[in-house]
Amino acid sequence: MPNRVPSASPTSKPASFSEAEPRGVAEGVSAKSNPSLLNEASFNWTNAMFSWQRSAYHFQPQKNWMNDPDGPLYHKGWYHLFYQYNPDSAIWGNITWGHAVSRDLIHWLYLPLAMVPDCWYDINGVWTGSATLLPDGQIVMLYTGSTNESAQVQNLAYPANLSDPLLLDWLKYPGNPVIVPPAGIETDEFRDPTTAWLGPDGTWRITIGSRFNETIGISLVYQTTNFTDYELLDGVLHAVPGTGMWECVDFYPVAINGSVGLDTSAFGPGIKHVLKASLDDTKVDHYALGTYDPVTDKWTPDNPEEDVGIGLKVDYGRYYASKTFFDQDKQRRILWGWINETDTETADLKKGWASLQTIPRSVLYDNKTGTHLLQWPVKEVESLRLNSTVFEEVLVEAGSIVPLDIGPATQVLSSRLALCLPKLTMSSNKCMEARFQCLTMKTTI
């Protein structure tokens, strides 16, 4: 959850959302607080122009602002996605948990808000959290709340009725908060608890992002037996100097040789652990592969030169606050990520919505390189391919433009394209001559 400076009144609203009045950096509105975006003159968009910008198959609310994905899970035949949501406006503020469900991760039904900021420990926002499914069928949700004094604390919530497949009603634990910032940690830089994993000693562990001396990104580890009482373990899971505040930390196992995902508690031979952090300073998601020691609760990167925050990125586009979950129904690990777009807040207010989620992706260890993760859109996305259009013997001459009618831009485009391109070679008389080399490419948009 990107850190924000809350307004004086957490329940107050701007005077008019119809006026295109983007707020400044001091008000901590979003990743869009970057001055280069705020100072940029907004294009004179029309409603007709906005209509085709809205995605047809990426998840987004019906209206208003959305950011981080929260607590994704699978329960009784339904995939659940919770998300940071402002029910009042297309700009950041009054953060609640939106809620939607799907049978296939593609077609979604909007449900009532899951949690709203209505207690002293989350009155300034129900921020990012994660779900843990316990062996007895219970579901626990840990999330960060911004208190009435703008401190960041960790809170517990759970479904009111586990027999309800839609999990419509959520209860906040009466003893919240269950974790407060420890000594030496800034009270406003302590957020986003992960899904818990069960250690070999029979206790559960979670990790929470923070920073030390402002520049060292760290991940703290807590252990618990009941999810209401927690003990901070000595040291940290991992730390990387120069990376700044870590938020939206994710920590999970991947099989070195295998085609299925692993439960978050999986451990043993043939398993690597992924540590991912969203860097608040750069608004980029980084990850690294490494080894987790469940005795010392320390994680060591395979390659220190490509450690978290200084090496691999989860995505190289506009992408942040990603979170995975284990889909126990199809034995796969699924990755969600927030696309915060590049529109100005002025444009967002005009169109009435902001941001979307990526198409969910399956995640596996790349056993060919041994150094990367493999990501691929979930197989269910293929259900969007309703028909096909074939173009043959289309000649594209140098400098020409050949329009192809592929239907509306919001349709999924999957194409197999054969190109015959000139290949320059050196002839026997040392003159360059062109020969044609044909390539076949498969693309999915």
Are residues 305 and 436 both part of a single domain? no
Please give the tally of structural domains in the chain: 2
Domain annotation covers residue 20: no
Residue 418 has pLDDT above 70, yes or no: no
Amino acid, single-letter form, for residue 55: S
Are residues 407 and 329 both part of a single domain? no
Are residues 287 and 362 both part of a single domain? yes
Residue 20 has pLDDT above 50, yes or no: no
Predicted local distance difference test score (pLDDT) of residue 151: 97
Q: Give residue 220's domain range.
A: 25-380
- What confidence tens digit (pLDDT) does each residue in 200-209 have? 999 999 999 9
- In the residue annotation, 68 being an active-site residue is answered as yes
Are residues 177 and 265 both part of a single domain? yes
Domain annotation covers residue 316: yes
Are residues 163 and 31 both part of a single domain? yes
Q: What's the pLDDT band for 342 if we cut at 50, 70, 90?
A: confident
* Lowest-confidence pick of 33-37, 125-129, 225-229: 33-37
Q: Give residue for tokens 């843990």.
A: 132
DSSP 369: T
Domain annotation covers residue 396: yes
Residue 153 has pLDDT above 70, yes or no: yes
Are residues 261 and 395 both part of a single domain? no
192: left (phi over 0), alpha (psi -120 to 50) or beta: left
Residue 25 has pLDDT above 70, yes or no: no
- What confidence tens digit (pLDDT) does each residue in 219-236 have? 999 999 999 999 999 999
Are residues 274 and 409 both part of a single domain? no
Q: Which of 336, 365, 380 is the last residue of a domain?
A: 380
Q: Which of 352, 380, 408 is the last residue of a domain?
A: 380
Q: Is 187 in contact with 152 (CB distance < 8 Å)?
A: yes
Give 237-242's long-range contacts (Cβ < 8 A, gap of 24+). Answer: 237/207, 237/275, 237/297, 237/298, 237/299, 238/275, 238/298, 238/299, 238/300, 238/301, 238/308, 239/212, 240/216, 240/307, 240/308, 240/309, 240/310, 241/215, 241/216, 242/215, 242/216, 242/309, 242/310
Are residues 334 and 400 both part of a single domain? no
Contacting residues for 7 by C-beta, under 8 A, at least 6 apart: 27, 93
Are residues 128 and 253 both part of a single domain? yes
Domain annotation covers residue 157: yes
Domain annotation covers residue 19: no
Are residues 429 and 339 both part of a single domain? no
Residue 41 has pLDDT above 90, yes or no: no
Domain annotation covers residue 8: no
Q: Is 364 in contact with 373 (CB distance < 8 Å)?
A: yes
Domain annotation covers residue 41: yes
pTM of the model as a whole:
0.82
